[in-house]
Every structure is written in structure tokens, then in C-alpha cells.
Amino acid sequence: MSRQLVMGNWKLNGSVALLQTMSQALSGAEYAAEVTVLPPCTLLLEASRQAQGFFVGAQDVSSHASGAYTGEVSAVQLAEVGCKYVLVGHSERRQYHGEAGNMLLEKMRRASEAGLVPVLCVGENLAQREAGEAEKVVTQQLSGLDSFLSSGLVVAYEPVWAIGTGKVASIGQIAEMHDMMRAKLGSTVPLLYGGSVKAANAAEILSLGNVDGVLVGGASLVFEEFDQICRAAVRV
Ligand code: PGA
């Protein structure tokens, strides 16, 4: 049996106070899901100290090991403060920081070497979806992963047009992409869906055969919503 994964990506939100509220509430809950909270970097150490019944992850990692790279945080440093997971290539990093290709593979390599599990985010934008290129784009974003298949890797399909927009991909669109990713990556890589996941749609998404969990943005900041999403997940 494996547990479905529910990950809460706080993005550039949250505070010490929210962390306290959230970790207290999560510590008392018992979920079939494996729950991970991904707060901003400044809260990671405190999150790890408070984490009972949930794991802690980071939203990004440097492609460098150490040195003169102002503002960066390394994989070893993330591991040192208790992170289990780290997002790599979230669409907001791709969009606002120009991240792509080999640099993302380098981030994943650093993460793996430090004992973290990289969560590679992939997904097409609206123009690509409308041009019928969604599968081609995602396939391309999944290239070069062979060496990570045995070392621990999670992939999150997050169509850019569904992130923070309230527009969730249809069940058919999610199923189609996840089936394609499963065929490509095999059965050992957990596949998450992300993009406007909320309490009202989580159960249906999580019931799909090739969906092993969800990556939640906005709805992870409100305990009542996040709690219901965690409850929608099952052991499979
Ligand atoms: P959203 O974000 O749930 O607010 O759409 C998801 C994500 O970006 O991981």
C-alpha cells in the first residue's frame, strides 16, 4: 500500500503565525495521505521543528552547491533544516526566473545528492493547450529524467492556465496527461496534479487511476480547505 501525497505550496505567502496555526491543526489530524507543507524558506527550520504528522518541503533549490551566489539556498542546506521534498521548475520559476532545461536537471541532481526528493513541475500554457501541443510540451519537459527514476522523483502536472485561476483542468484532460506520463515514467514515480485544486474537486481528481496526489497552492493556506483535501486522499 502506498499513500497518496498532498503537498501545500505556500508560494510567497505565510508567516510564523500561519505556520503555528497550521502545524497545530495538522498535528492533531490523522490522514491516509502523506502531507507535506512547503512554506517560504524563512519558515523551513521552524516548520521542521513543529512538524508532527507532516513533512516539510522547499519551493526551489539552487543549481549550485555553494559559493558566491547571493540569495540562493543549496540542497544540502535544505536537507540540514529537515526538508524531505523540493519543488523544481514550478511554472512560476519558469515564467519569472527563466528556469528551464539543463538548469532544472542540475537542481534535481543537487537535490537527489543531498537526499531530498525533487518534485519536478511540468505543464503547458494556454496557447500551447489551444494549439494542441500540450502533450508535446510536457513530453519535452520530462526529458532527461532517466537517472532519477531509481533515485526518487515525484512529477507534478500543473497546466499553467489552471494555476491560481480557478480553472481546473477537466477530469478527461488530467487523466489523459497522467496516463501519458505513467507510460513514460513507469509505475514508481508518484504523479501529482496541481492547478486550482480545492476541497470541492479534490476527491474526483484523486480518484483517477494515475493520480497519486495533488499539489495545492491557494487552498493550502486555509486549514479548513487543506484539511478537506487531505481527507479526500486515500491509501492505494
Ligand atoms: P493553485 O496553485 O492551487 O493556487 O492553482 C497550484 C500551484 O501552483 O502549485
Q: Look at residue 11 and tell me whether its pLDDT is greater than 80.
A: yes
The percent of residues above 70 in pLDDT, for the chain, comes to 99
Decide if 186 contacts 192 (C-beta within 8 A): no
Over residues 89-95, mean pLDDT: 97
Cα–Cα distance between 226 and 141 in angstroms, integer? 28
The percent of residues above 90 in pLDDT, for the chain, comes to 93
| Averaged confidence pLDDT in the chain | 96
- What does pTM read for this prediction? 0.97
Over residues 28-47, mean pLDDT: 96
pLDDT digits (tens, 9 = 90+) for 117-169: 999 999 999 999 999 999 999 999 999 999 999 889 999 999 999 998 888 89
Annotated catalytic residue 64 = no
> Can you give the pLDDT at residue 234?
82
> Can you name the residues that pair with 235 across neighbouring β-strands?
3
Annotated catalytic residue 90 = yes
> Can you give the pLDDT at residue 191?
98
> Can you give the pLDDT at residue 166?
84
Cα–Cα distance between 190 and 114 in angstroms, integer? 20
- The active-site residue out of 34, 92, 99, 158 is 158
Over residues 32-52, mean pLDDT: 97
Residue at grid coordinates 542546506: 77
> Can you give the pLDDT at residue 41?
98
User: 182: CA distance to ligand 1 center in Å?
Assistant: 22
Question: Which atom of ligand 1 is found nearest the CA of 218?
Answer: 4
Q: Which contacts of 181-189 are long-range, i.e. CB under 8 A and separated by 24 or more positions? A: 181/138, 181/142, 181/155, 181/157, 181/210, 182/210, 184/139, 184/142, 185/142, 185/145, 185/149, 185/155, 186/149, 188/149, 188/150, 189/149, 189/153, 189/154, 189/155
Q: Look at residue 235 and tell me whether its pLDDT is greater than 80.
A: no
Question: Which atom of ligand 1 is found nearest the CA of 121?
Answer: 9
2: confidence class by pLDDT, cuts 50, 70, 90: confident
